[in-house]
Amino acid sequence: MNKRLLIRNIRGETIESEREEVNEWIGKSEDNRSYYINLLNLFASQELSREGLQYFTKEEIKEKLSQIYSNTNKKRVTKFYIITTVAASLLLMLSVLLNIYQFNNKEVATDLIAMSHPPKSKVINTFYTERGVKGKIVLEDSTVVWLNSDSRIVYPEHFSVKSREIMFEGEGFFHVKENSDWPMIVTTSKGMKIKVLGTKFHVKSYNNDDSEQATLFSGKIELEKEIMVRGGKSEQRTIEMIPNETVIFDKDFVRSGQEVISHNADTTKKIAWRRGELLFEETPMNEVIKMLERWHGAKIVVTDNSLMKHQYTGSFNSESLVQILELIKFTSPVDYIIENNIVYLKKRRI
């Protein structure tokens, strides 16, 4: 959309066909609507510096604001995105009146604040990557989050002015936009809380895993986790992490009131999945199965529990599930059959 046409429309200089074109563009997306409203605000603020301001009494200002607000509410019967030059005029008048009122009275009543600054949307969004799928999302503050398969992030359409709070489940890599006055708080579904000011970190916290972990790539983060200690009492654990450090809360360590901290984490391996690499390093068979299910969107059933004592090491890029199973079969006492899209693992006969 031509910006000059939008400005001309705000000024009331467009013909009917041009106004229809602008209204149609506004209605195509929420981003278009927000852009147009921001342009309206900019235009109004510029006009304030050019126009001579007429002084009104406090009672006259309240009456005019009430009339404007009443009229705009009535117009909401039509489609919300149809913003005409009348709306632009109302916004300009509202801005002028509020500036006069603040200048004369040094403060603005609560009801006037609510009218001039309507509350932001409290819409909560959920972004989920299905099994076998990976994703990437950019949040309102320009923070970028990469999600591995079977992961979920829940976030508000607009963050609060105090903090940026989101919920997370699964595996992801965060590149958080730095703002020391606006911390991000990532809370996992397993109860781990990560406080961030601006950094890069990896988190893995699947509900069906026995552990959850965080690895710091750069910057600084603070972990909080409530754990059970001996005697059945809970204890709040707080850990300040440094780069190249991994903290793991395993169910066995949580019971003992301890966590595993690695000070020389191989960060490249933590995000091998971002490069399309499926990596096993002496990985227990139960973890291998869960990773294959997430990676390929498969269902795997173990028919012989003795297989669970084995570990597996290997690296895969574009191999299919069958190819991976064949390699596992070749290097371990594991065999498999596939029936009705379900993989059954069994002990291979020697």
What confidence tier does 32 reach under pLDDT thresholds 50, 70, 90?
A: confident
Residue 113 has pLDDT above 60, yes or no: no
- Interior/surface letters 312-335, b for 16+ CB within 10 angstroms, e for the rest: beeebeeeebeebbeebeeeeebb
What domains, with CATH codes, occur in the chain?
Answer: 3-116 (no CATH), 124-266 (2.60.120.1440), 277-347 (3.55.50.30)
Task: Determine what percent of the chain falls in helix, strand and coil, rounding each to the nearest 5.
Answer: 35, 30, 30
Q: What pLDDT is attached to residue 59?
A: 57
Mean pLDDT of the chain: 77
Q: State the pLDDT at residue 43.
A: 57
Share of the chain above pLDDT 90, in %: 40
Please, which pLDDT band fits residue 116 given cuts at 50, 70 and 90? very low
Q: What is the pTM assigned to this prediction?
A: 0.63
Ranges 55-69, 77-91, 181-195, 222-236: which has the least confidence: 77-91
**Contact indicator for 178, 197 with CB cutoff of 8 Å:** yes
Q: What is the pLDDT confidence band of residue 264, given thresholds at 50, 70 and 90?
A: confident
**Going by C-beta distance under 8 Å and a sequence separation of 6 or more, which residues neighbour residue 133?**
149, 297
Euclidean distance between CA atoms 297 and 113, whole angstroms: 51
pLDDT at 14 over 90: no
273 against 23, higher pLDDT:
273
Q: What is the pLDDT of residues 280-321, one digit of tens each?
A: 999 999 999 999 999 998 999 999 888 898 899 989 988 899
Q: Give me the pLDDT at residue 73, please.
A: 45
pLDDT digits (tens, 9 = 90+) for 66-85: 554 454 444 433 333 334 44
End-to-end CA distance of the chain: 70
The DSSP secondary structure of 197-250, one letter per residue, reads: SS-EEEEEE-TTSSEEEEEEEES-EEEEEEEE-TTS-EEEEEEEE-TTEEEEEE
The pLDDT of residue 93 is above 90: no
Comparing 264 with 164, the larger pLDDT belongs to: 164
Decide if pLDDT at 169 tops 90: yes
Q: What are phi and psi of 137, to 5 degrees?
A: -140, 145
Cα 337 to Cα 232: distance, rounded to the nearest angstrom: 45
Write out pLDDT tens, residues 238-258: 999 999 999 998 876 545 556
Is the pLDDT confidence value at 20 over 90? Answer: no
> How much is the average pLDDT of 118-141?
83
Percent of the chain exceeding pLDDT 70 equals 71
The answer to whether 222 and 213 have CB atoms below 8 angstroms apart is no
Residue 94: pLDDT over 50? no
The reported pLDDT for the residue numbered 261 is 80
Task: Report the run of H or E that residue 333 belongs to, with start and end.
Answer: none
Question: Confidence band (pLDDT; 50, 70, 90) for 3?
Answer: low
Alpha carbons within 13 angstroms on the beta-carbon side of residue 181 total: 1
- Per-residue pLDDT band at 153 (split at 50, 70, 90): very high
